[in-house]
Structure 1
Amino acid sequence: MLTTTGRRASLLTSPTLWLIVINIGAWVYLGLQGVDWMSPSPADLTAWGGNLGPYTLTGDWQRLVTSMFLHGGALHLGLNMFMLSQIGPLSEAVWGRTRFTLLYLLSGLFGGLASAWWYSNVAVRSLDGNMLRMALGFAPHFATTVSIGASGALLGASGALLVHALRAGDASKIELKVIFQVVALNIGMGFLMTGTDNAAHIGGALAGIAIGALLMLPGERWRIDRKVQSAIIFTVSLLLLVALVKQPPSAAVMAIAKTLRAAADQP
C-alpha cells in the first residue's frame, strides 16, 4: 500500500496488525489470569467484559467494545485472526487505513448491540418456563448467552467490501474470493463450535453493507470533498449507534439483569 506521497506505508502503522496484536494480547492476558486457554467458561467471559445482553442493555455499554476483543479459546481466536489477516489488508487498500478502522469498529459495535437485543429477548421469553420454579420457591433460570469475538466486525468489513466488489466489476474478483473465505469460515465455525452468535454476524454485516454503500456514493454529486463525506458518514453512524444504545430496556430485561447481578454477587 502506498501513501499519498508515494512511499510505502509502514507495516507498524497497519490497523490490521494492531487489531491482531490486541486480540492475541487479550487472550494471553486472560490465560495468565487463570481463564482457560482453550475453552473459557461463560462466567469468566462475562466477568472480563463479555456481551451479556441483560447486563449490556442496563448500563454496561462498555461490553460492546470489550467483547469484540475476547474469544472462546484458541481455536476461535485463531480462525478470527486468520480471517482478519485476509480481510484487513484488502480493506485498508480499498478504504484506507482510517476508514477501515472506523468501519471495523462500528460494525462490531452494531453487531454487539444486535446480539444484546436478541439474547435479552431470548432471556425474557424463557421467563414463561420459570413460573413453576418460582412458585415452588426456587430461583428462576434464564436462557442467557454471552457474546464474544471479532466476527461481527469481520462480517461488517466483508459486507462493505462486497458493496465495493459489486460496483467494481471484473476488477473485484480478488475481493470476492476473500469475502467468500471469510463468510465460509464463519459458517464453518457454526459447525465446529457451539453457540455461534448469528445475531452479531447479521447485525455487523448489515452495518458494514450500509456504511460501505454510503462510502461508495459519488460525493462529487453534492460537491462534497471525499474526506468530508467520510467524516459525515461515520459521524452519523456513531450518532445512530448512540441513539440506539440510549433506548431504555424493558422492565423484564431490567429484572433479569438485577437477578443475575445478585446471583453473581453471592459467595
Structure 2
Amino acid sequence: MQTTPGTRPSFFTSPTFWLILLNMGAWVYLGMNGVDWMSPSPADLTAWGGNLGPYTLTGDWTRLVTSMFLHGGALHLGLNMFMLSQIGPLSEAVWGRTRFALLYLLSGLFGGLASAWWYAGVAVRNTSYELVPSAMGFTPHFATTVSIGASGALLGASGALLVHALCAGTAAKIELKVIFQVVVLNIGMGFLMTGTDNAAHVGGALAGIAIGALLMLPGRVLRIGTAVQSAVVFAVSLGVLVVLVRQPPSDQVSRIAHILRASEVLAAQRDAARAVNPERP
C-alpha cells in the first residue's frame, strides 16, 4: 500500500481493526439470537458454523472460515482479541497490511483443517455403542469436539513473526525472545490445559512459520520482486490448502457425519412436535 510521505495509514484500513470488529460482531450477533454470552453450548456453536471435524471433512468446508470468528464466551473472545491487538499491529509493520491479512486467514484455515483431522480421528477412535431402546437395540455414541476461535490464526501470525525475528536479526521489529515465548507458551499451555484446541494451535503455527519463511526468502535468490514473491507464496499456500481439503474422508468419518446429521434431523422433528403438542414426550 502506497502512502503520501509524512502521513500515516488510516486506522480504519487496518485489518487488525476489522478482524477485531468481525469477531466481536459475531459474538454479539449470536448472543442476540439466543446463544449464551458467557458459555455457549457445543450444539449452538455447531449450528452457527463451528468446526466439527466429521462435518467439515465431509464437504462442509465453510466451517473452516466461520469457526475462526466464533468464540466460547466473553472470556475466550477477550483473551484472543487482546492477543490480536498486540500481534496485529506488529505483523502489519513487518509484512504490510495486505500480507498480514492473508497470512492470518490462511494460517487460521490450516489450523482449522488440522483441528478437523485431529478431532475426527478422536471421534473414530473413541466411538462406543450403548444399549438403548431402539429398533436395532444399539445406538452409537461419539466423542465429538467442536473447534472455534481465532487461536490458530493468531499462532500463525506469531509463527511468521518468529521467522522474521530469526532472519532479520538486529533489524527485526520485535525481539526474538518475546515472540518465541508467545508461540511456545501458547502451545505449551495447550498441552497442560483441558478445553484448548492445540491441534489448531500447532497447525496454525506451522502454517505461519512456513509462509513467513517463504516471504523472507531474499529477492536476490529468487530474482523476482517482493510483490511477485508474495503473490506466488500466497497462491501456492492456497493451492496446498485446496488440495488438502479435497482429500476424501475415511469411511468411518463419513459414517459418523451421516449419523450425526440424521440425529440432528430427528431432534429437530421432536422439537417441532413438542411445539405443536407440548404434552407429547
TM range (shorter): over 0.9
Cα distance between partner residues in 1 of 2:90 and 2:211: 17
Shift of 1:181: 4.2
CA, structure 1 residues 16+51, in 2 after alignment: closer, same or farther (shift >3 Å)?
same
**Which residue of structure 2 lines up, in the alignment, with residue 122 of structure 1?**
122
SS in 1 for 2:138: coil
CA, structure 1 residues 206+161, in 2 after alignment: closer, same or farther (shift >3 Å)?
same
Letter in 1 for 2:25: G
Q: Any stretches of 5+ residues in structure 1 without a counterpart?
A: none
Letter in 1 for 2:199: A
* C-alpha contact 1:90 1:175 (8 A) present in aligned 2: no
**Which residue of structure 2 lines up, in the alignment, with residue 216 of structure 1?**
216
Cα distance between partner residues in 1 of 2:139 and 2:232: 49
Shift of 1:185: 5.5
SS in 2 for 1:40: coil
After the TM superposition, which of the residue ranges 203-212 and 222-231 deviates more from structure 2?
A: 222-231
Letter in 2 for 1:56: T
SS in 2 for 1:249: coil
- 1:205 corresponds to 2:214: no
Letter in 1 for 2:23: N
**Which residue of structure 1 lines up, in the alignment, with residue 279 of structure 2?**
none
Cα distance between partner residues in 2 of 1:187 and 1:236: 30
**Which residue of structure 1 lines up, in the alignment, with residue 275 of structure 2?**
none
Shift of 1:135: 11
Among all aligned residue pairs of Structure 1 and Structure 2, give the percentage whose two residues are the same amino acid: 75
SS in 2 for 1:166: helix
The two structures have a TM-score, normalised by structure 2, of 0.88
SS in 1 for 2:224: coil
After the TM superposition, which of the residue ranges 214-223 and 29-38 deviates more from structure 2?
A: 214-223
- The 5 A counterparts of 1:164-175 are 164-172=164-172, 174-175=174-175
Once the two structures are superposed, residues 196-252 of structure 1 have per-residue CA deviations (whole angstroms, 9 ceiling, x without a partner) of 101000000000000000000012223201100100000000010000000000110
**Which residue of structure 2 lines up, in the alignment, with residue 184 of structure 1?**
185
- 1:233 corresponds to 2:249: no
Shift of 1:35: 0.3
**Which residue of structure 2 lines up, in the alignment, with residue 97 of structure 1?**
97
**Which residue of structure 2 lines up, in the alignment, with residue 196 of structure 1?**
196
- The 5 A counterparts of 1:1-80 are 3-6=2-5, 7-80=7-80
Once the two structures are superposed, residues 72-100 of structure 1 have per-residue CA deviations (whole angstroms, 9 ceiling, x without a partner) of 00000000000000000000000000000
Runs of 4+ displaced beyond 6 Å: 131-136
RMSD (Å), alpha carbons: 2.2
SS in 2 for 1:105: helix
CA, structure 1 residues 203+182, in 2 after alignment: closer, same or farther (shift >3 Å)?
closer
Cα distance between partner residues in 2 of 1:215 and 1:178: 18
The two structures have a TM-score, normalised by structure 1, of 0.92
- The 5 A counterparts of 1:154-173 are 154-172=154-172
Cα distance between partner residues in 2 of 1:18 and 1:179: 26
Cα distance between partner residues in 2 of 1:194 and 1:38: 18
Shift of 1:149: 0.1
Cα distance between partner residues in 1 of 2:104 and 2:220: 25
Cα distance between partner residues in 1 of 2:249 and 2:86: 37
Aligned pair count reads 264
**Which residue of structure 2 lines up, in the alignment, with residue 88 of structure 1?**
88
* C-alpha contact 2:26 2:69 (8 A) present in aligned 1: yes
Letter in 1 for 2:185: A
